[in-house]
Amino acid sequence: MSLSLEGAGLVHPNGHTALRGVSLALERGARAAVIGPSGAGKTTLIRVLGTALKPTSGRIDVLGSDPWQLGRGALRALRSRIGVVHQRPPIPPRLRVVTAVLAGRLGTWPAWKALASLLLPGDAVGARDALAALDLDDRLFDRCDRLSGGQLQRVGIARVLYPRPDLILADEPVSALDPTLADGAVGTLVAASEANGATLVASLHAVDLALKWFPRLIGMRGGEVV
């Protein structure tokens, strides 16, 4: 089993209930789209599955482990196997595109290699290949602050796909893209997950994309699976 939640709930410190008794299970290599209106709990679910948020109730298993029963080193190792595509990628604007993509592997590299990569990209060919799948390889050495919002979003996708994670989580990964680019980007996520046998979970507003690319849809409303 790749992912499992049993009665997972999450209540924020201010008392707001973001998730209510969510249960679901996904086998390794499965693909699922999470759909629902704004405020339904989609982003919170993605963050729980990515171990960024700890449930306040219920049980969770991610890639064979309960992340919150692991030590610090084991939790870091688990997180290095998870790739998260953000709606607004947290990429410093002055960073070069090649460095932003290679940053996807910082969690698996020793500190000396991570620091050296900031000065001299250690795998420019690999970064270019990841960008080429998203029609962005011609911007390899540009600074990120020279990209449009849609281009930056595609760089964020390339950064996640570069290290070939076992679990890909995408939170509105194509919100800044036009329909043609959005379809291509989701297709790239699907192709990468299939090629590597990775599990893919994406929250999407575009139901047409969810229906086209994902064999399983999970509808949410008010923090619950409906």
Alpha-carbon gap, residue 172 to 214, rounded angstroms:
14
Cβ contact 118:165 at 8 Å: no
Dig out the tokens for 121 from the structure: 């990209």
- Whether the predicted pLDDT of 110 surpasses 60: no
What pLDDT was estimated at residue 59?
96
Helix (H) or strand (E) holding 132: helix 124-132
pLDDT tens profile 121-158 = 678 899 999 999 999 999 999 999 999 989 999 999 99
- Whether the predicted pLDDT of 111 surpasses 80: no
| Average pLDDT across the chain, whole number | 92
167 vs 108, more confident = 167
What pLDDT was estimated at residue 33?
98
